[in-house]
Chains A and B, each alone.
Chain A
Amino acid sequence: MIKVTIISILLIAGSLFSLLAAIGVLRFPDIYTRMHAATKAPAFGILLLQTAAAVYFATFYAVIISLMVVVFIFLTAPVASHIISRVAHLLGTPKWDKTVIDELENDPDVSIPAKITGNRAKQ
């Protein structure tokens, strides 16, 4: 009975966190704040759902595969968000009006590769 309660709470909380991520992607004003919602919330939702699955099946196989999925998601979500936000900044995606400060813009410490022009672009 306790197990059923735990699994139910985990399942519903996990799907609610996924819903939170979707609402955040719709509500937040610009790409960088959207990234906050789309990185943290789904990873946490999947953690909760996989914990529910591991508790429900309670076999060695299910636990190992749940652990694998969770570790992989938590290792790759920051990398994906880093690469998307970097490319978005490189392309000059507009920021929100109320952005306080941007120290990455025109910073000499980060080398931006020169644009390829002329014949090299066609190769």
Chain B
Amino acid sequence: MPKIIEITFDFFIFLLFYLKEMVKANLVLARDILSPAMKISPGIVKVPTDAKSDNQVLILFNLITMTPGSLCMDISDDKKNIYVHGMYVKNRDAFEKEIKEGIEKKVLEVFG
């Protein structure tokens, strides 16, 4: 029984995290759209992923799309790499690190 309570608790924490990211994403988007000069540098980056099952990939896609400045585009055939379109790809490695350490770690520890 405590296991179920733990899972539910984790899920609610994840939901709050999702909501926070959502609000942040929209504020960043508002700043981008309303600023007179377009200060964006878009790019498509290939990110290796550790997500094993299909459910994890689904949640990862959803979360990446809803987080600030990134949009999921595709997944490779062997499900090892995902292609993310980012708004601020000044530095490719920094962007990849941000996706891997920020979002993917969270998804894997909640839905591991």
Given A82-B61, A100-B43, A104-B46, also A36-B26 (CB < 8 A): no
A109 to B77, CA, bound (A): 6
Q: Are A107 and B43 in contact (CB under 8 A)?
A: no
Given A44-B22, A96-B42, A98-B41, also A24-B85 (CB < 8 A): no
Contact partner, A86, options B23, B73, B87, Cβ 8 Å: B73
When distances are taken between beta carbons in the complex, the residues of chain B under 8 Å from A44 are: 22-23, 25-26
When distances are taken between beta carbons in the complex, the residues of chain A under 8 Å from B87 are: 33, 36
- A6 interface residue, CB < 8 Å from B? no
Q: Are B29 and A29 in contact (CB under 8 A)?
A: no
Q: Are A24 and B29 in contact (CB under 8 A)?
A: yes
- Segment touching A, from B6-14, B64-72, B99-107: B64-72
Encoded as 1 (CB less than 8 Å from any B CB) or 0, chain A from 76 to 110 comes to 01110110011001000001101111111101011
Q: Are B65 and A37 in contact (CB under 8 A)?
A: no
Interface residues on chain A, number (Cβ under 8 Å): 43
Q: Are A82 and B42 in contact (CB under 8 A)?
A: no
- A117 interface residue, CB < 8 Å from B? no
Q: Are A85 and B73 in contact (CB under 8 A)?
A: yes
Encoded as 1 (CB less than 8 Å from any B CB) or 0, chain A from 22 to 51 comes to 011001111011011101110110010000
What residue in chain B is nearest A75 (Cβ atoms)? B62
A30 to B25, CA, bound (A): 19
Given A17-B26, A36-B29, also A82-B65 (CB < 8 A): yes
Q: Are A35 and B46 in contact (CB under 8 A)?
A: no
Q: Are A40 and B89 in contact (CB under 8 A)?
A: no
- B4 interface residue, CB < 8 Å from A? no
Given A82-B61, A82-B73, A109-B78, also A37-B33 (CB < 8 A): yes
Q: 13 interchain pairs (CB within 8 A)?
A: A17-B30, A32-B44, A39-B65, A74-B66, A78-B61, A98-B40, A99-B42, A100-B92, A103-B45, A107-B46, A109-B76, A109-B80, A110-B77
